[in-house]
Every structure is written in C-alpha cells, then in structure tokens.
C-alpha cells in the first residue's frame, strides 16, 4: 500500500500541513524541518499527487480569509469591508490572492479551511473573529499552520500567552470606557444590545459592560440586556421591547454601530427623542453614524489599520517561520457626536 501524507508526517514528527508545505515548495519552512520531511519522503518512497495538487494550487500564492459567518452578513457589515480592504492592500503588494471561505457550521468551516491548507491551495490563513471553544484555532495551532487571528483569542485567560499571531483591540476595556462615559453623563439605568456571546469579542464587550456597571455600585439588570442577530429588524424589535418596560433604560450601549442604528429606528418609531429621552451609543465608528439622526456617539476602531497589520504580520511569518508569535493591540477612542446627553431629571 503506498505511503500517505499522514505516514510522512508521523515519521518526520511534524504536522500534515508542514509536509504539504514542503512538498509544495513553500518557502515558510525552516531548513532543518524541510530536511527531516524530505528524508521521510525518501524513506517511505512517498509520491505526492502532483495532478491534484496542481489543480488545487494552480501555482498561485493564496491566503485564505475565514470569515466566520455567512457571506451575505459579512458583506453587510461595514467593519468587515474596511478590514478586508486593508488586508487586500498589503497582500496585493506581495502578489498574494485572497480566498474567502465561510460556513455557519464551525466544524465544516474548520474542515474546509484545513483542506485548503493541506492541499497547498493556500499558503497561510487569516481568521476574522473567533468563537468560544473554536475548533479551527485549535487545529491551526496543532498543525503548525501560518495564520493570524484578527480579533480576541478564545479560551485563553491571558491573550499575551497565545501560541499564535493576533491583532486586536482591548474589546473589554473599550466597552467599559464607553459605559463609563454614559455613567459620567448621569445615566444609571443603561441597557445593552450585543451579538451572540459565542463570539469571543462579544463576550469581552459584555464583560466590559458588566464591569463598568458594577464598579459604579449598580446592579446588573438583565431585563435591559438583549442578544440580537444580524438583521436590522432583530435589533428594532428587541429595543422596542426594552423601551416598553415600566422602568425603561435612559441609555443604551450597542456593541456595534449597526445595532445602534437599529436602536435609533426603534426610538423614532416609538416617538422617543434621542438624546432628550434616550441616549444611544455605538461601537466601531461606521461611516453611517456620521449621517444618522442624530449623529451617533461611538467608539472608533481603526479597521483599515487592523487589516493592514494583520496582513503584514502574516507576510512576515511566511518570510520568517522562526518568528515568535506577535500580539498587537490597537488603540480605540471615543467619538462624541449628538446621540448622548444627560438623562431627564
């Protein structure tokens, strides 16, 4: 029975993806590892499937971007589009092509990504966002795949100890500062609208909200905290329910500007004035916040810079596989516009 790539990986004591990179002639493998793999290839008389490899890789330089959600929802989010543009600016300078991949099923997403890596179709991976208990991150680390995470790492109590490259913001602190700003205006009953907490960055923002509220000596009121999907109608419906409460919030912090726009729509439909009767604050500083009614107070995150740093970090890793993992945190800043004011007495 002919030797398989798994046999070579076992004999050389490396991952399958490392064997794939060596047999595909990738440059991002250390000489010592390359020598060990080639020795195993010779010992086992292993012959890669050159035809299949050629069909999949087409001799191109490709980077996979794992989007972590269905494609139409990703492209409806301005944050992702700005990030993607930053990534592509840098990758094009180095003659790399982007391969987008996505699946709502985490296991299928992982399997598809790993097929691309093992076949040699892509030379590196950028993961946009991560899930709690993320199987893809664990597999990429296990198989020693060159990759960078754009976002907060899952399941690591200290992000600086992660064994892989990442570019992120301090999502917890940015949310905490946003809520503290609302508290400083005099608000004591602050609602929260957030995405599913299975996403690591959303969990961080949720924790930042809770921390700011409890630090102020207030009780966390779960009746004014709601998780929503990615449709505007989801947010509008959830915020309307929140605003129908007998003791409705005087301010709402939304973990993304698209949710804040939904909150503004809900308030307008209920004839609730913003900011006179309700303050609304967003996060991520989408351009639509500049022209919303009223213009949106939010937290600025430089997604374009994040995209460029993510891509450059991966390029650096491909050029020098011996580089230690880098953990880069970009600053955020408060953007004060007209959707936040002191509560009515």
Q: What is the 3-state secondary structure (H, E, C) of the chain?
A: CCCCHHHHHHHHCCCHHHHHHHHCCCCCCCHHHHHHHHHHHHHHCCCCCHHHHHHHHCCCCEEEEECCCCHHHHCCCHHHHHHHHHHHHHHHHCCCEEEEECCCCHHHHHHHHHHHHHHCCCCEEEEECCECCCHHHHHHHHCCCCEEEECCCCCCCCHHHCCCEEEECCHHHHHHHHHHHHHHCCCCCEEEEECCCCEHHHHHHHHHHHHHHHHCCCCCCHHHEEECCCCHHHHHHHHHHHHCCCCCCCEEEECCHHHHHHHHHHHHHCCCCCCCCCEEECCECCHHHHCCCCCCEEEEECHHHHHHHHHHHHHHHHHCCCCCCCEEECCEEEECCCCCCCCCC
| Res 76: pLDDT | 66
- pLDDT at position 9: 86
Predicted confidence at residue 57, as pLDDT, reads 47
pLDDT of the chain along its 345 residues, tens only?
667 788 888 888 888 778 877 877 666 778 888 888 888 888 888 866 543 454 444 455 899 999 865 555 666 677 888 899 999 999 999 999 998 888 777 788 888 888 888 888 888 999 988 877 788 888 898 888 899 999 887 765 566 678 889 999 999 999 999 999 999 999 999 999 999 998 888 999 999 999 999 999 999 999 999 999 888 999 999 999 999 999 999 999 999 999 999 999 999 999 999 999 999 999 999 999 999 999 999 999 999 999 999 999 999 999 888 888 899 999 999 999 999 999 987
Q: Are 173 and 47 in contact (CB under 8 A)?
A: no
Residues 118, 83, 160, 204, CA torsion sign: negative
Cα 344 versus chain centre, distance? 37
Q: Where are the domains of the chain?
A: 1-48, 57-169+305-331, 171-300
Q: How far apart are CA 35 and CA 296, in angstroms?
A: 58
Contacts of 93 by beta carbon, 8 Å cutoff, 6+ apart: none
pLDDT at residue 74 in the model? 63
Distance CA 140, CA 116 (A): 12
Tell how far CA 288 is from the center of its chain: 21
At residue 51, the pLDDT reads: 38
* Burial call 113-124: b when 16+ CB within 10 Å, e when fewer: bbebbbbbbbbb
Architecture of domain 57-169+305-331: 3-Layer(aba) Sandwich (3.40)
86: which residues sit within 8 A by CB, 6+ positions away? Answer: 303, 304, 305, 306, 307, 308, 310, 311
Confidence (pLDDT) at 69: 54
CB 65 within 8 A of CB 126: yes
In sequence order, what are the residues at sequence separation of 6 or more whose Cβ sits closer than 8 angstroms to the Cβ of residue 291? none
Which CATH architecture does the domain made up of 1-48 adopt?
Orthogonal Bundle (1.10)
pTM: 0.81
Which CATH number is 171-300's, of 3.30.460.80, 3.40.1640.10, 3.40.50.300, 3.40.50.2300? 3.40.50.2300
Please state, in angstroms and rounded to a whole number, the distance separating the CA atoms of residues 70 and 179. 30
Please determine whether the domains at 1-48 and 57-169+305-331 fall in the same fold group of CATH: no
pLDDT attached to residue 170: 92
């Amino acid at each position: 029975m002919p030797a398989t790539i798994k046999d070579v990986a076992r004999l050389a004591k490396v991952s399958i993806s490392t064997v794939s990179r060596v047999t595909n002639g990738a440059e991002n493998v250390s000489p010592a590892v390359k020598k060990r793999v080639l020795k195993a290839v010779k010992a086992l008389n292993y012959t890669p499937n050159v035809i299949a490899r050629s069909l999949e890789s087409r001799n191109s330089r490709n980077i996979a971007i794992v989007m972590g959600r269905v494609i139409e929802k990703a492209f409806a989010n301005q944050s992702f589009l700005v990030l993607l543009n930053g990534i592509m600016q840098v990758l094009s300078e180095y003659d790399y092509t982007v391969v987008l991949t996505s699946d709502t099923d985490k296991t299928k997403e992982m399997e598809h990504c790993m097929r691309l890596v093992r076949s040699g179709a892509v030379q590196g991976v950028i993961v946009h966002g991560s899930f709690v208990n993320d199987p893809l991150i664990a597999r990429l680390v296990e198989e020693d795949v060159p990759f960078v995470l754009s976002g907060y790492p899952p399941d690591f109590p200290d992000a600086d100890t992660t064994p892989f490259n990442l570019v992120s913001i301090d999502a917890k602190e940015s949310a905490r500062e946003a809520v503290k700003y609302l508290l400083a205006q005099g608000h004591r009953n602050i609602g929260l609208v957030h995405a599913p907490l299975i996403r690591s960055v959303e969990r961080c923002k949720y924790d930042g909200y809770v921390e700011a509220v409890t630090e102020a000596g207030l009780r966390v009121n779960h009746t004014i905290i709601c998780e929503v999907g990615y449709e505007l109608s989801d947010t509008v419906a959830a915020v309307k329910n929140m605003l129908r409460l007998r003791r409705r919030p005087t301010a709402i912090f939304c973990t993304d500007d698209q949710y804040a726009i939904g909150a503004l729509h809900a308030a307008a439909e209920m004839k609730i004035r913003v900011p006179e009767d309700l303050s609304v604050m967003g996060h991520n500083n989408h351009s639509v916040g500049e022209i919303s009614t009223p213009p949106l107070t939010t937290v600025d995150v430089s997604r374009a810079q994040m995209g460029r740093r993510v891509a450059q970090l991966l390029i650096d890793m491909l050029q020098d596989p011996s580089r230690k993992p880098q953990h880069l945190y970009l600053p955020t800043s408060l953007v004060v516009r007209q959707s936040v004011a002191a509560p009515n007495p």
